[in-house]
Structure 1
């Protein structure tokens, strides 16, 4: 199943009002951690899976990456990315992550931010990315944390006065599709355990370099006080993996 919610006018309009859609990477609560997980980018050939508005593509070029390919299934996303980009070193392509087709060793770094929980077959993506990377290449990804995706409602359990009592986790070991509500629309996400994320990468041949379950920075908490509840349970899972030298 290849979802393209972002080309639905209502959904895209709601997405465009989010803080991260307006403020870019500086408004993304997890960026301060993901940035540190990226390898040295100077001179590297980079692929961004689910590039959205192109924030990460532009960042890696600012870090002197030699070239960047950003793929996304949404024409709306790519139109916005192109409008925000003035750089011949960045190429945007309309492509589903599931349909990746690149030459072996074509890239040095593959990154993906908050897109892979929309993909049903993560293991297949890992194998494809492994082949597309040069020896020693890096795969750095973020996805919604399995604690966050396990229960389809993806919402707090509230007390009688509307207070947030706890975050329910149920059906954790039952992997697969979850129909949830995001930005006022029904969206299908795919839940998998932490072990499944890691083992899929390992089975594809990757070596796990780093794992993170980031918390908002003190700066983000000061700017967005409502984010204090993000300290109560993990929302994001981030993994940095390396393709061993062939």
Structure 2
């Protein structure tokens, strides 16, 4: 008997979640802004000029607007959340940016103009997708020969346990970050703004081999950390365990 595929999650349209996430991103001081985005963008060299880009899990369209500032030819942003896309369209005035509502899981069924793409990017979205190999296979089909994929996910060290938290002593000092059930891949029911946010844990091995199995060549792997000389000590705890995993790959010519 074949198990049915999990229902596609759209937690970003939950009003409480959406408001909490929007407030976090508006501060510009979250881990996305301080660690993940700078590391992700460091892999987009030498230039975005003239590229046709697909952004999977585009959210508020921040990267789409950034890419156009860097002279990308066009950006297609896809997101499952209507609330996120409504906000993205409201603050974007650029005919070369197109936003489409849809899930990464349904990429095979989408009609997207201008494909294939020079670059496909996905920021902290693929850990919400149940069938990672299928998603990477469809992404590979959407890439031009020589095209690149760059994506970030929560680091498997963080997703292994659903209860993501530091072990603290009686005085509240952070002692260590527990890792357990690392090999037990699958859904993790977590709390982030609301209860029962589902993220899919998979090993670094699975992330890497999924790219290789799809015929892509890995060009870089990053586990970004705060700069040692960072003035704000609150970020230094993230040198003790990596919050993000970032992978870059290329479709052979």
For Structure 1 versus Structure 2, the TM-score category normalised by the shorter chain is: over 0.9
Superposed CA deviations along residues 52-107 of structure 1, whole A, max 9, x for unmatched, are 11111111111111110000000111111112211111000100010113579521
- Do the aligned residues in 2 keep the contact of 1:24 with 1:55 (CA within 8 Å)? no
Match of 1:227 among 205, 210, 235: 235
Distance 1:188 1:88 in 2: 34
Which string of whole-angstrom CA distances, capped at 9 and with x for unpartnered residues, describes residues 111-136 of structure 1? 00001100011111111011111100
Answer yes or no: is the 8 Å Cα contact 2:36–2:152 preserved in 1: no
Alignment RMSD (CA, Å): 1.9
Distance 1:57 1:185 in 2: 30
**1:209 aligned residue:** 219
State the shift of 1:186 in Å.
2.4
Counterpart residue number, 2:42: 36
After TM superposition, list the pairs within 5 Å mapping 1:102-141 onto structure 2.
102=111, 106-141=116-151
Contact 2:228 2:236 (C-alpha < 8 Å) held by counterparts: no
Contact 1:177 1:190 survives alignment (8 Å) = yes
Q: Where does residue 4 of structure 2 map in the other structure?
A: none
Residue 161 (structure 1) aligned with residue 161 (structure 2) = no
Q: Residue 96 of structure 1 corresponds to which residue in structure 2?
A: 103
| Deviation string, structure 1 residues 204-234 (Cα, Å, up to 9, x no partner) | 0000000000002468x43x54222111101
| TM-score where L is the length of structure 1 | 0.93
Q: Count how many residue pairs are aligned between Structure 1 and Structure 2.
A: 242
Q: Does 1:9 align with 2:15?
A: yes
**3-state DSSP of counterpart to 1:153:** coil
Distance 2:29 2:106 in 1: 27
Question: Displaced runs of 4+ in structure 1, greater than 4 A?
Answer: 102-105
SS in 2 for 1:17: helix
Structure 1 unaligned spans of 5+: none
Distance in 1 of aligned mates of 2:111 and 2:149: 15
SS in 1 for 2:35: coil
**Does the residue aligned with 2:197 lie in a helix, a strand or coil?**
strand
Aligned equivalents of 1:59 and 1:240: distance in 2?
19
Superposed displacement of residue 24, structure 1: 8.4
**Equivalent position SS for 1:57:** helix
1:47-126 pair list within 5 angstroms: 47-100=54-107, 101-102=110-111, 106-126=116-136
CA contact (8 A) 1:150 1:170 kept: yes
TM-score when scaled to structure 2?
0.90
Shift of the 24–72 alpha-carbon distance from structure 1 to 2, 3 Å rule, reads farther
Structure 2, unaligned runs of 5 or more: 1-6
Classify the secondary structure of the residue corresponding to 1:30.
Answer: helix
SS in 1 for 2:19: helix
